[in-house]
Amino acid sequence: MSALAFTYTALPARVVFGAGSVSKIGSELERLRCKRPLVLSTPQQCKDAAALAKSLGDAPVFAEAAMHTPANVTARGLEAAASAGADCLVAFGGGSTIGLGKAIKLRTGLKLLAVPTTYAGSEATPILGQTEQGRKTTLRDMAVLPEAIVYDVELTLTLPAPMVVASGLNAVAHAVEGLYAHDANPVTSGLAEQGIAALAASLPRILEAPRDVEARSQALFGAWACGTVLGAVGMGLHHKLCHVLGGSFDLPHAETHAIILPYAAAYNATAAPEAMARVARVLGRGDGPDGLHDLAMRLGAPTALRDIGMPANGIDHAADLATAEPYPNPRRIERGAIRALLADAYAGTWTRQA
């Protein structure tokens, strides 16, 4: 272990957390000096979004948010904000809806209040992924960071089990990569440990008792902690692989993260022994990657890329893309080893028992 040295820029964040805190959105908007919110949601959550909008003085709703922030949806959202004369945005939903809020904020400067209903963590990051004509680009800009986040556990009680698992493991992946990030620091690593611990403890409880408010609350706290880590430090191999797989084969975002996580951790284990020791300790296991794999199995998460739509003949293409322009990563990116990782993740073959 070497002497401690780090550079850390903390992101500004106002977080209002608690059961029933949705009732505080009105006062949060007053605090931001906003009077005419536009509420954003997906089509699937439009009913709940409409109820929230009603409580905010019959605010208008734009309910077209979609995965990966398509440019045409953003364009329609901009029109909706302009025609409503909106002076702020309330993004009610998961990463897709918060992405739409960030995309409109970037282009208008409108203030953004995020009301997350999944564990994706986008609300805590200055990162925005957008898609135009099938091409996804990602930017990091402080201009997209929400001014405030209202976490209300009651809004997450309806999140269905498969989403709880996939989105929860997606959050754990941010924290695991945060622990071995090239720019990790004691604050983000402490938060990463807290986030992994909170999610590992709460996700199995939620599956047993979906309306367990205490467990749901612990998971939502974990999501914030993991999202904060994602927003503050750089991601490595795991995120590169997920980006390539999602972009090449249109695989579902959270499920891809859930499947790749133990494999990416195993790839990096020898190069990041301290990070993996922390993961192992938090999970109460002898080995970090084995602990992550066991957690996924225990939660009944998807474990093979072939089960979520990856074609067998895509392995080589993915290995080529993943080894071109790699993200900073503790272990050198070697094509042969990455191809082997992808082949194992494709079939769901897990052999590590350290």
Using the rule CB under 6 A, give the single segment among 56-64, 123-131, 180-188, 190-198 that binds ligand NAD: 123-131
Residue 261 interacts with ligand NAD (CB under 6 A): yes or no: no
Q: Is 74 in the site for ligand NAD (CB under 6 A)?
A: no
User: What is the smallest separation between the CB atom of 327 and ligand NAD, expressed in angstroms?
Assistant: 15
Task: Determine, following the binding rule CB under 6 A, whether residue 95 of this chain makes contact with ligand NAD.
Answer: yes
CA distance 181 to 200: 21
CB of 94 to ligand NAD, least distance (A): 2
- ∠ CA 327-223-231, nearest 5°, is 40
Contact between 77 and ligand NAD per CB under 6 A: no
Least distance in angstroms from the C-beta of 128 to ligand NAD: 6
Q: Which of 21, 74, 117, 303 binds ligand NAD (CB under 6 A)?
A: 117
DSSP-derived letter for residue 75 is H
Closer residue to ligand NAD in complex, CB, 220/280: 220
Q: Which of 96, 130, 188, 228 binds ligand NAD (CB under 6 A)?
A: 96
Q: How many residues bind ligand NAD (CB under 6 A)?
A: 29
The answer to the question of residue 189 lying near ligand NAD (CB under 6 A) is no
Q: Which range touches ligand NAD (CB under 6 A), out of 39-47, 200-208, 259-267, 278-286?
A: 39-47
Interface with ligand NAD (CB under 6 A), residue from 156, 188, 218, 268: 156
Among the listed residues 125, 108, 222, 127, the one whose alpha carbon sits nearest the alpha carbon of residue 167: 222
Report the alpha-carbon distance of residue 29 to residue 111 in Å, rounded.
9
* Dihedral sign, Cα of residue 111, residue 91, residue 143, residue 190: positive
Element (H, E) at 116: strand 111-116
Of the listed pieces 38-46, 194-202, 288-296, 315-323, which binds ligand NAD according to CB under 6 A?
38-46
Nearer to ligand NAD by C-beta: 167 or 185? Answer: 167
Task: Verify binding: residue 93, ligand NAD, rule CB under 6 A.
Answer: yes
Considering the rule CB under 6 A, would residue 68 count as an interface residue with ligand NAD?
yes
Binders of ligand NAD among residues 313 to 342 (CB under 6 A) are: none
Provide the minimum distance between the beta carbon of 255 and ligand NAD in the complex, in angstroms, as a whole number. 9
Question: What b/e readout covers 286-306, taking b as 16+ CB neighbours within 10 angstroms?
Answer: ebbbbbbbbbbeebebbbebe
Cα pseudo-dihedral 73, 75, 81, 87, rounded to 10: 110
Q: Which residue's C-beta sits nearest to ligand NAD?
A: 95
| Residue type present at position 222 | G
Burial of 57 by CB count in 10 Å (0-12 exposed, 13-18 middle, 19+ buried)?
exposed
Among left, alpha and beta (phi > 0; psi -120 to 50; other), residue 73 is: alpha
Q: Which two tokens stand for residue 231?
A: 């927003």
Q: Which is nearer to ligand NAD, 167 or 329 (CB)?
A: 167
The nearer residue to ligand NAD, 87 or 154, going by C-beta atoms, is 154
- Rule CB under 6 A: say whether 120 interacts with ligand NAD: yes
Burial of 207 (0-12, 13-18, 19+ CB in 10 A): middle
Residues 6+ apart with CB under 8 A from 51: none
* E strand residue ranges, 125-271: 127-132, 135-140, 148-151
Q: Which of the 8 DSSP states describes residue 70? A: B
99 touching ligand NAD, by CB under 6 A = yes
User: Minimal distance in Å, beta carbon 271 to ligand NAD?
Assistant: 25
Name the residues that contact ligand NAD, by CB under 6 A. 42, 44-45, 67-68, 93-97, 99, 117-118, 120-122, 125, 127-129, 155-156, 158-159, 163, 167, 230, 253-254
